[in-house]
Every structure is written in structure tokens, then in C-alpha cells.
Amino acid sequence: MSYPYQIKSFEEYKEVYERSVRQPQNFWADIASNFQWRRKWDTVLEWNFKDLDVKWFKGAKLNITENCIDRHLEKLGNKPAIIWEPNNPDEHYRILTYNDLYNKVTQFANVLKNNGVKKGDRICLYMGMIPELAIAVLACARVGAIHSVIFGGFSARSIADRLQNANAEFVITCDGAFRGGKDIPLKSLIDDALESCPFVKRVIVCTRTRTPISMIKGRDVWWEDEIKKVETLGMAPAVAEEMDAEDPLFILYTSGSTGKPKGVVHTCAGYMIYTTYSFVNAFNYKQGDVYFCTADIGWITGHSYVVYGPLSAGATTLMFEGVPTYPDAGRFWDIVDKHRVNIIYTAPTAIRSLMSFGDEPLQGKDLSTLKVLGSVGEPINEEAWHWFHEKIGKGKCPLVDTWWQTETGGFMISNLANATPERTSWATLPLPGIQPALVDENGNEIEGAGSGNLCIKFPWPSMIRTTYGDHERCKQTYFSTYPNKYFTGDGALRDEDGNYKITGRVDDVLNVSGHRIGTAEVENAINMHAGVVESAVVGYPHDIKGQGIYAYVIYNGNHNAGDEDLIRKDITATVTRIIGPISKPDKIQFVSGLPKTRSGKIMRRILRKIAENETENLGDTSTLLDPKVVEEIKEGKL
């Protein structure tokens, strides 16, 4: 497959970018002509941010799996689509060619149909990083079902919330998942979740860890048995369902500054085009390259840049089941060496963690195949950038810093490997078609160099269309802060040449190890503990995680009184049960009160400063109801 839209130089980028802004419809129509359609579109774009009504390629018909699989079979049928590296390096890796992927996806699509799945049904996937997860995702898309993948670090309660919100009647899971030294009991967590989800009528369980599990009669079936049934029936490979360009493809839940996580909805055509376009351009992907994205499919990075973007581009995508430090801190580099990886895309938190082990884990690892490096998830600090660039890329590989979000579906601001210049810790320039804006505190757009809140002022194909079941919430959250603009929740700097440096979230959302965590959600979970009266959660700088979770807690329970460490453990266990281990607080400080204004609002600014160890410049505290609590909190700082 060749990519006529692959940008080769900075000059070309400038030209293409200019055209993408001047004639967005022609620009995207040209790119869309490189894909396989059942029917072409009537209009390229209709949009209105006020009511949040955005339609790309209206009237077009397609199925994304025909683009990710079928169209490659003739030329790439015997080429690897997925290389799978298991958690345990002694277990054999697997390679699925595009032919294999076609067979497996069409077969599992038949399993879904046999189990009563129809177009538009919601299916929740709670699985480890095994090829069957990618197969299940694609099989859902094949039959037109809307998948909702849930990361393995979420609790039964979080799963139940998501199942209820999506009203999902089908679940696909595994007996368990291997992650480093741990076995995660996925099916058992699903069983707990389903106690409050009686509407779930079918659970398909794939074998991985052979952990003993309970199978409920009439509800639970084994993946392998269902495959045998399809084989016995001699069913022909499932033909792809014809989808409308704007039919939902998936729901992915993400945390915000308030309330429960929102189900971000992405649709078929625009998402497909944009993830493919951005993948090919940011990484300068060349046919035959082995591309390794270390993200889990439970997050947007895994959706867009492990599965859909690379496969639609006919790439070889490497899926890794484990964690960077298992069995030792050289694991990523072993994988690069073993599979002759050309492109590695990972997160600053992983880089910082691996850096801390020094050079020893790099000894004897052949990294010479690497051509391009990528970073995502949080601003990459200079030290991590240089280590990645020098030690891993040997100073010769472009490093792309891709800024984007669950809601944006694909890369928004990033340098393009071998085409546009890189700059340490700067995401640099917008991709073609992306029109960022910086807005000041009064909502006015800033021209030229400056700093402000980062917005996007024109639609792009892979943008969020709605939040599942609550369109109003989507409008309010993203499109009402500044009229006619999508507000990202991030702050940014811009230089005179239009380069962007992302400075981080400006709302009450934390970024812990590249995972998005809402402070309100963590507070709600802490407050569920019987002895807790009230709590406030803020972020603080953490060497490895980027941000750590700092909780101020007013505790009034008797149980364990006097033993603060035990109470901390209880509170942590509560958060793990309510949200999942990914949201565990790193520090819990007990306080007798929280700094509140006379109207009862917690002054988080003060708490943030104390957690960041900036106790000198707390600013004006005179409006506080009880300024004395600040002194007490400062003294008790952990």
C-alpha cells in the first residue's frame, strides 16, 4: 500500500496545511478517496458547534473492517498484521497475517451473530492485551455493534457503571489477564459487576490464564466452544454490515472534572480516515515497518494507534501483553530487538520509569532497527525526552510528541517524523485540518505568540460526536465554555512561528502515569468510606507518574482510631473497590478542616500549592471562612 497523502518535507507540510484550512472539504475528500466505500458521500462536512451537530461524509456507506482487513488481502494477505508478544517472554509469540486476521474476525463476527448480536447493540469488552481483544473489537465493528472497551485496572463497580450507562447486553471477557507478576481475575470482576446489571444476557469468555472461574448457565459461554459451533455449522465468513458514515463505532469512557465518566462516542468514517492519515504522517510509516505502540487497547491510544489506524494503513502492529518492567526493565528493548521494531510509541511515564534503572537494561540489546520514536499522554519533560532520543534513538531517530485526547480521536498537534522539525518538550505544529486557538481568561482569542486555554475552532473528522445517552452534557462540557469552539481542558504556550507547548490540564483533571483521573471522582470514592466526613483531592509533581494523587481527608470514624496507617489502607481499599487500583491516592493527609470560602467552596488552589510544597506563596487567604486551617494543613504536610 502506498500513501499518496504522506507528507515528505516541511515545505510540503506548509502547503498542505494551508490548503487544509482554505479548502477543508476538498482536502478531506481527496484523502477519503483513498479508502474503500460501499457508497460515496453526498456532502463532506456539515457542522454547527452550537448544537453540536457535526456530520462528516454524510450519506456515505462503509464498514471500517473492510478498510482494516479486506482491502489489504490481495497484496498483503500473507504479511503480518499483528505481532503479539506475551507477558512471559518464554511463551511463544504469535503472528497473525492479514489473511489470519480476516479468518478470525469473520469467524468471531459469526459467533456474535449466533449469540443474537445485532447492528447498534452495545458490547462491553473487558480483556487483557491478547490478539483476541483486537479480534473482538474488529468483529464488533464487522457486525455493526458498538464496542466499549474497559481497561483491566477498573473495578467491578466502574464496569457496572459503564454497562448501565451504555445499556450493554453483551460482554466479552477472559478468565483472567497476565500483567507482569500479577494475574487479574477479569471474569470474577465481571461476575461482581453483573450483580447490578441483570440486563446482560450473554458473556463470552476467552481462555487465557486458566484461573478457575464460575460459568453461569444460560448466560456465560466459552469463546472456544462458540468458535467450534460456527465451524460445525460451516458458516461462510461474515460479510461486513453496511454502516452509515456517522453511525457510532465505539464508546470509550473517560473522566472529566465533574460527575461520572462520560462515554465519548466516535463514528465510523471520520474516525477511520483521520486515524489512518495521522498514523501514516506522524510516524512516517513505510510499508513493512514493524510498529510497536505500548498502550493498552483499553485506552484511546490503543483504539486509534494499536488497532484502527495501523490496520487501516496495512501496517504491522505489535501488541504487548505485559508491562515495561517485567521480567526486568529491559523488556521493551528485548521486544525491539526480538521483533526488529522500527517505530516505538510510548508514554513519558514509562520512559521515566525505565530511565531510573540506568543503562544496564540496555546492554546487549540491538536497537538499530529503530527509525522513529513517539511519545503520548502528558507533556514530556526534557530529561525524559533526551534519554529517549539519545539512549534509545541513538540521536538519529525523530521523536514525535503527539498531543491529543480521547475526545479528539487522533493526533492534533505533533511534529511529523522526517517532515517537520522536532523541538524538545514541544508538541510543535497542528496536523493538517486542525485549527487550534488560544483563548485568554476573558474568552478572547489570542493572536500570535502567547499563552492561554487551548481550543479547536473548526471540526476535524475524528472529533467526539456526543457523550453516550447525554448529548447536552457533551455540549456543556466541551462546546459551551467558549462559543463556537471545542475546549480541550489543556493550557498551552504558542511561539511566533505557531508552535505549541502543552502545559497541562487547567481543570480538575489529573494525569497520573498518562491516565486521566477526575479529582471529583476520587473524592466521591474516598467519601464512601464510613469514617470519612469530607475530602479534597489534588495533584502534585511525581518523579515517575508525572502527577501523584494527594488527598486531604477529614476523618471522624472510631474504628482503627489512632492508627493512621491502617485508616489510610482502608481508604485506599475503598478507592480500589469503587474506581479501581489506577486511582489509589499516593498520599493521604488527615486534616480537621478544609480551606473553604464563605460560600462553602473548597479553595483547591491553596491545597494544590501545599501539596506541591509551595507553602510560602499561598496568595490571598482572607476570604476563607477559617484561615487557621491553612496553618494546620501546612504543618501536617506529608
Q: Considering only CA atoms, which of 376, 303, 368 is closest in space to residue 337?
A: 368
Q: Considering only CA atoms, which of 299, 141, 246 is closest in space to residue 466?
A: 246
Closer to ligand PRX by CB, 110 or 301: give it. Answer: 301
Residue 350 burial (10 A CB sphere; 0-12, 13-18, 19+)? buried
Q: Considering only CA atoms, which of 583, 589, 604 is closest in space to residue 637?
A: 589
Q: Which amino acid is at 569?
A: K
Q: What is the number of alpha carbons within 13 Å of residue 402 lying toward its C-beta?
A: 32
d(CA 552, CA 560): 18
Dihedral (Cα; 117, 122, 127, 133), 10-degree rounding: 60
Closer to ligand PRX by CB, 189 or 502: give it. Answer: 502
d(CA 75, CA 87): 31
Closer to ligand PRX by CB, 541 or 627: give it. Answer: 541
Taking the complex as a whole, how short is the minimal distance between the CB of residue 488 and ligand PRX, in angstroms?
Answer: 6
Closer to ligand PRX by CB, 389 or 505: give it. Answer: 505
Closer to ligand PRX by CB, 402 or 499: give it. Answer: 402
Closer to ligand PRX by CB, 404 or 460: give it. Answer: 404
Taking the complex as a whole, how short is the minimal distance between the CB of residue 404 and ligand PRX, in angstroms?
Answer: 5
Q: Which three cell numbers stand for residue 545?
A: 507518574
Please give the backbone phi and psi of residue 496, each rounded to the nearest 5 degrees, phi first.
Answer: -65, -20
Taking the complex as a whole, how short is the minimal distance between the CB of residue 408 and ligand PRX, in angstroms?
Answer: 8
Q: Considering only CA atoms, which of 417, 610, 252, 79 is closest in space to residue 619?
A: 610
Report the interface residues with ligand PRX, using CB under 6 A: 254, 300-301, 376-379, 401-406, 427, 488-490, 502, 504-505, 511, 516
Question: Which single residue is written with the C-alpha cell 516541511?
Answer: 10
Whether the CA torsion 596, 597, 601, 606 is positive or negative: it is: negative
Taking the complex as a whole, how short is the minimal distance between the CB of residue 266 and ligand PRX, in angstroms?
Answer: 12
Taking the complex as a whole, how short is the minimal distance between the CB of residue 466 and ligand PRX, in angstroms?
Answer: 16
Closer to ligand PRX by CB, 235 or 520: give it. Answer: 520
Taking the complex as a whole, how short is the minimal distance between the CB of residue 588 and ligand PRX, in angstroms?
Answer: 24
Residue closest to ligand PRX when measured from CB atoms: 406
Closer to ligand PRX by CB, 72 or 505: give it. Answer: 505
d(CA 94, CA 96): 7
Q: What is the number of alpha carbons within 13 Å of residue 604 lying toward its C-beta?
A: 16
Taking the complex as a whole, how short is the minimal distance between the CB of residue 72 and ligand PRX, in angstroms?
Answer: 26
d(CA 322, CA 332): 10
Taking the complex as a whole, how short is the minimal distance between the CB of residue 297 and ligand PRX, in angstroms?
Answer: 13
d(CA 150, CA 252): 8
Q: Which three cell numbers stand for residue 297?
A: 487497547
Taking the complex as a whole, how short is the minimal distance between the CB of residue 282 and ligand PRX, in angstroms?
Answer: 11
Taking the complex as a whole, how short is the minimal distance between the CB of residue 504 and ligand PRX, in angstroms?
Answer: 6
Q: What is the number of alpha carbons within 13 Å of residue 99 lying toward its C-beta?
A: 6
d(CA 431, CA 394): 26
Closer to ligand PRX by CB, 170 or 277: give it. Answer: 277
Closer to ligand PRX by CB, 504 or 531: give it. Answer: 504
